[in-house]
């Protein structure tokens, strides 16, 4: 009864407060309109969008997204590309011999700005003819124009023994791929140290360089600028900057042209950060870096004790707190996984906090209160993206977002059933795309009316 009353109040409040968006939220993880079968779902994080948001690459275990026949290895995920405008879905992780399915799973896609090139990881050893990979994940690059897939985490002299590579990041121009690996044979003269390092592969030159050479701690979670010049990453090393010696996770930016290492998660007055920072996302021009941090001394007055989302302006040397309560107070729960538009204006992230906008849906469903938020750094507005098609709250969590380069669209993963009208697969995981300018992305937050006169909660 209580839940029904709350939902009834919510439906009234949300319906009265908002109008439907001119461009509705759409499901991305759907079968191809012609060759596919089934009803989609079983999507895995995270989606990645082309600059204009038309093409979305994602990962799914669902069968029949682009083929009528089900995958016999139903636990193996594949990488797909959805053209939202045409309603087409194609599989990217295809075996080189033309077989129906690859012999192991694939995931973590990243797409170029023009939607032509997709980087991804896979444990399959049949995506490239003659591949020697032995079930360890490798980094691959697929060109949609040439229909060619190549493996890029190989030594400069050719394939050899393999220890696994993960975390691909693709430059907007498709010319450079960053990733992390324990491989000691990707570059000449490297030694085995059992630490993950950050590597950058130049696609045109076919050469790989190690940018964390000499680091005394592991590094991961790379993000690369549009032209491949700057790479943001997380590292536990204590010898990359004199401003960071504590061995905790921090966010760095390496400039390949200047051969300089920049500590992005730096404290006020160049103080050492007093806790860890992770999950960087760098803008296409390499100026802005979004990241999460538990540190309290990156900005003044940050005393909420939770992980927050920040943006560092590397040109001005200024850090901005993004995940702030609507009344100026600190967020009352943690925020994670930021992504950033090409110009650094739009920041999307997911959060467990209930006070980022007025009347957040935690009061409706306290067990499923994770939402995707969009922050506009030019206007200072913070809005919820994961709302129902009728303007009400989503009925399940939303997380793991990506943003188009132009900032017009955000994609995210959710099990909610009411984000679109007539969700064809119910509460299965799906990838959704929402337009950031839609009216149902609330600028003012949610409104809650007074309790009914009879005193019912």
pLDDT in tens, 277-306: 999 999 999 999 999 999 999 999 999 999
pLDDT in tens, 377-435: 999 989 889 988 888 888 899 999 999 999 999 999 999 999 999 888 878 889 999 99
Domain count of the fold of the chain? 1
Average pLDDT over residues 140-166: 80
Q: What is the pTM of this model?
A: 0.88
> What CATH number is associated with residue 15?
2.120.10.30
In a domain, 59, yes or no: yes
Confidence of residue 118 (pLDDT cuts 50, 70, 90): very high
In a domain, 446, yes or no: no
pLDDT over 70 at 61, yes or no? yes
pLDDT in tens, 237-270: 999 999 998 889 999 999 999 999 999 999 999 9
Confidence of residue 368 (pLDDT cuts 50, 70, 90): low
Question: Which of 37-41, 220-224, 431-435 has the least mean pLDDT?
Answer: 37-41
| Mean pLDDT score across all residues of the chain | 85
In a domain, 225, yes or no: yes
Query: pLDDT higher for 41 or 109?
Result: 109
Query: pLDDT higher for 23 or 159?
Result: 23
> CA 95, CA 390: separation in Å to the nearest integer?
42
Range of the domain at 133: 2-435
Confidence of residue 174 (pLDDT cuts 50, 70, 90): very high
Q: Chain-centre distance of CA 247, in angstroms?
A: 26
In a domain, 443, yes or no: no
pLDDT at 136: 80
In a domain, 257, yes or no: yes
In a domain, 30, yes or no: yes
In a domain, 241, yes or no: yes
In a domain, 452, yes or no: no
In this structure, are residues 100 and 44 in contact, taking their beta carbons and an 8 Å threshold?
A: no
């Amino acid at each position: 009864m209580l839940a029904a009353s709350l939902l009834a109040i919510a439906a009234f409040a949300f319906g009265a407060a908002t109008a439907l968006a001119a461009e509705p939220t759409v499901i991305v993880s759907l079968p191809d309109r012609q060759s596919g079968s089934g009803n989609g779902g079983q999507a895995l994080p995270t989606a990645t969008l082309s600059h204009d948001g038309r093409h979305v690459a994602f990962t799914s275990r669902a069968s029949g997204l682009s083929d009528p026949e089900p995958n016999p290895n139903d636990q193996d995920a594949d990488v797909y590309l959805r053209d939202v405008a045409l309603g087409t879905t194609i599989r990217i992780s295809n075996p080189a011999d033309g077989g129906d399915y690859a012999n192991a799973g694939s995931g973590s896609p990243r797409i170029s700005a023009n939607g032509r090139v997709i980087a991804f990881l896979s444990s399959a050893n049949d995506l490239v003819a003659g591949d020697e990979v032995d079930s360890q994940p490798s980094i691959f690059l697929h060109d949609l124009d040439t229909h060619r897939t190549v493996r890029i985490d190989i030594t400069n002299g050719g394939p050899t023994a393999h220890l696994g590579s993960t975390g691909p990041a693709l430059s907007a121009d498709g010319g450079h791929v960053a990733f992390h690996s324990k491989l000691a044979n990707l570059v000449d003269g490297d030694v085995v140290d059992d630490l993950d390092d950050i590597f950058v592969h130049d696609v045109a030159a076919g050469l790989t360089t190690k940018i964390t050479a000499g680091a005394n701690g592991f590094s991961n979670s790379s993000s690369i600028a549009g032209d491949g010049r700057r790479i943001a990453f997380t590292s536990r090393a204590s010898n990359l900057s004199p401003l960071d010696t504590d061995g905790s996770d921090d966010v760095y930016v390496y400039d390949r042209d200047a051969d300089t290492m920049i500590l992005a998660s730096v404290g006020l007055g160049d103080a050492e950060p007093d806790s860890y920072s992770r999950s960087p996302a760098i803008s296409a021009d390499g100026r802005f870096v979004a990241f999460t941090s538990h540190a309290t001394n990156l900005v003044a007055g940050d005393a909420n004790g939770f992980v927050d989302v920040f943006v560092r302006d590397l040109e001005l040397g200024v850090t901005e707190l993004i995940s702030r309560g609507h009344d100026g107070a600190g967020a009352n729960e943690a925020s994670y996984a930021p992504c950033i538009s090409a110009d650094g204006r739009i920041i999307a992230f997911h959060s467990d906090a209930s006070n980022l906008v007025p009347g957040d849906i935690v009061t409706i469903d306290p067990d499923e209160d994770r939402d995707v938020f969009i922050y506009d750094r030019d206007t200072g507005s913070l809005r919820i993206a994961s709302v129902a098609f009728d303007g009400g709250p989503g009925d399940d969590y939303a997380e793991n977002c990506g943003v188009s380069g132009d900032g017009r669209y955000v994609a995210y993963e959710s099990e909610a059933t009411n984000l679109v009208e007539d969700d064809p697969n119910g509460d299965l995981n799906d990838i959704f795309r929402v337009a950031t300018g839609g009216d149902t992305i609330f600028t003012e937050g949610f409104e809650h009316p007074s309790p009914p006169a009879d005193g019912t909660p």
